[in-house]
Amino acid sequence: MLLIHNEDAGTTDAESIETGEKLIGTPVTRVAVSAGAALDRILTEHDDEDVVVAGGDGSLHALLRALYRRGELDRRRVGLLPLGTGNDFARGSGIPLDVAAAAGIVRDGVTRAVDLIVDDTDDVVVNAAHIGVGADAADSARPLKPHVGPAAFPIGAVLAGLVRPGTRLTVVIDGRTVTHPRHRNLMVAVSNAPTIAGGSALLSPDASVHDGRMHVTISQSTGPLARIGYALRLLHGRHVDSSDVIHGPADRVLVAGERFRVNADGELSEPTVSRSWRVLPGAWRLFVPADRPTGRQPAAEADGEADPTAEAEVQR
C-alpha cells in the first residue's frame, strides 16, 4: 500500500502521518509529493497498489486527477487520512477527522463506490467547484489559510463579495438553458458532497457522493442586501429556497460567458470563458466506515434568469 502526502501542505503534520501509517496495519510505502509530475512517476513505480492520501480535498483532488488521466480509477482503492484545512470531502463521505480512526477504516478494508465529477479539460472535482464569488473567495483566502484555517474561506468570501459585481454567464443544465448573460451571477457551483468551507457552509444539503448525480447551485443574489442574505442562508443550507437561487441535481453542466476562474477543491484554474462538467457514477472506490451511513458530518461533530418551465428537479 502506498501512503502519499503533500510536503507543501501547510497543515500536514508529520507526527499524525506517522501515527496513521502505524495504524493502517499493512506494509506501507510512505512518499512525500510536491508536484503533479512527481505523483505520476510515483504511481508508475508503485503500479496497481492501493493509495492512501494524507491531506485534504486538494491532495485527494491531485491523486484522483492522476488516476483518472492514467485510466486507473477502477484498479486502485483509495484511503483518506484527513489532514487538510477544510476536509469537506471527508465530512461528506463519513470519514472521521481523527487520523487514528481514519487509519482504522483503511485497516478494516471496507470500500464503497464513489462518484467523480470530470470537466472538459480532463480535470476532476472531488468535493465542489465554484465560479464567481466562490473562486474569488479562494483567491482572497490564500494568504489567510496559514493563520485562520477553515475560517479563511468565509472571510475571503466577504472580501470578494464586497468588490465583485457578479459574472454574466449562460448556464446549461442537462441541455436546458437556465440562466442568460443579461443577468449577473454571484456564484455558480457544482458539488459532489454537501459542504464547503470546512463544514461551515451547507452548499448542497441533499448531495451524496454515492447518488450518481452532481448538484448545481446558481446564485443571482447580486444586490448588497441580497448578498448578505445569501451568505447567511448558505451557512445552514436555506439558500436553496430563495427566489434568486437555482439549485438541483444534474448529469451535465455547461457554463460560458465572461472570463472567469474555477476553484475546484481549492485549486484555482487559469481564466477561461467556458467550462463543462459531467458526472461519472461510482467511478472510484473509497475506504469507508463499515457501520456508518454516508452523509454530511457537521463541523461541530467532526472537530441569469431561470426558465419558468423548468422541471421541479432543478428548483428556483
Model confidence pLDDT, tens digit, residues 37-87: 789 999 999 998 999 999 999 999 999 999 999 999 999 999 999 998 889
- Is 124 in contact with 65 (CB distance < 8 Å)? yes
Residue 300 has what pLDDT?
Answer: 39
How many domains, in total, are found in the chain?
2
- How much is the pLDDT for 231? 82
Position with higher pLDDT, 158 vs 58 = 58
Write out the E strands in the chain.
2-6, 29-33, 51-55, 77-82, 111-119, 124-125, 128-132, 167-173, 176-179, 184-185, 187-191, 195-196, 201-202, 214-219, 245-250, 252-260, 262-264, 267-268, 272-287
Q: Is 90 exceeded by the pLDDT of residue 170?
A: yes
Model confidence band, residue 121 (pLDDT cutoffs 50, 70, 90): very high
Same domain? For 265 and 155 the reply is yes
Host domain of residue 138: 124-279
- Are both 128 and 180 inside the same structural domain? yes
- Could you tell me the CA-to-CA distances from 229 to 69, 155, 234, 240 in Å, in that order? 40, 16, 8, 12
In a domain, 261, yes or no: yes
What's the rounded mean pLDDT across residues 132-138? 69
Residue predicted with more confidence, 6 or 164: 6
Q: Looking at the structure, do residues 259 and 174 belong to the same domain, yes or no? A: yes
Residue 44: inside a domain, yes or no? yes
What are the residues facing 286 on neighbouring strands? 78, 112
Query: Per-residue pLDDT averaged across 185-196, rounded?
Result: 95
* 200 falls within a domain: yes
Q: Are residues 84 and 158 in the same domain?
A: no
Residue 249 falls within a domain, yes or no?
yes
**Residue 299 domain-assigned (yes or no):** no
Q: Is pTM beyond 0.95 here?
A: no
Give the HSE-up count for residue 38: Cα atoms under 13 Å, Cβ half-sphere: 9
User: Are 267 and 218 members of one domain?
Assistant: yes
Count the Cβ atoms, other than its own, within 10 Å of residue 40. 14
Residues 254 and 271 in one domain: yes
Statement to judge: residues 59 and 141 lie in one domain: no
The CATH number covering residue 94 comes to 3.40.50.10330
Same domain (yes/no): 134, 166: yes
Q: Is the residue at 310 inside a domain?
A: no
Residues 38 and 112 in one domain: yes
Averaged confidence pLDDT in the chain: 85
Domain-embedded: residue 295: no
pLDDT tens-digit map of 192-244: 999 998 898 899 999 999 999 999 999 998 887 888 888 889 889 999 999 99
Identify the CATH number of the domain in which residue 151 sits. 2.60.200.40
Same domain, 129 and 250: yes
pLDDT tier, 305 (very low <50, low <70, confident <90, very high otherwise): very low
DSSP 214-242: EEEEEE---SHHHHHHHHHHHTTTGGGGS
- Residue with the bigger pLDDT between 7 and 248: it is 248
pLDDT of residue 172 exceeding 60? yes
Q: Is the domain of 128 the same as that of 274?
A: yes
What is the pLDDT at residue 262?
Answer: 95
Do 111 and 143 sit in the same domain of this protein? no
Q: Is residue 290 part of a domain?
A: no
Spatial distance between the Cα atoms of 232 and 157, rounded to a whole number of angstroms:
12
Alpha-carbon distances, residue 253 vs 32, 139, 214, 269 (angstroms): 35, 23, 9, 17
Least confident of 123-127, 138-142, 255-259, 301-305: 301-305
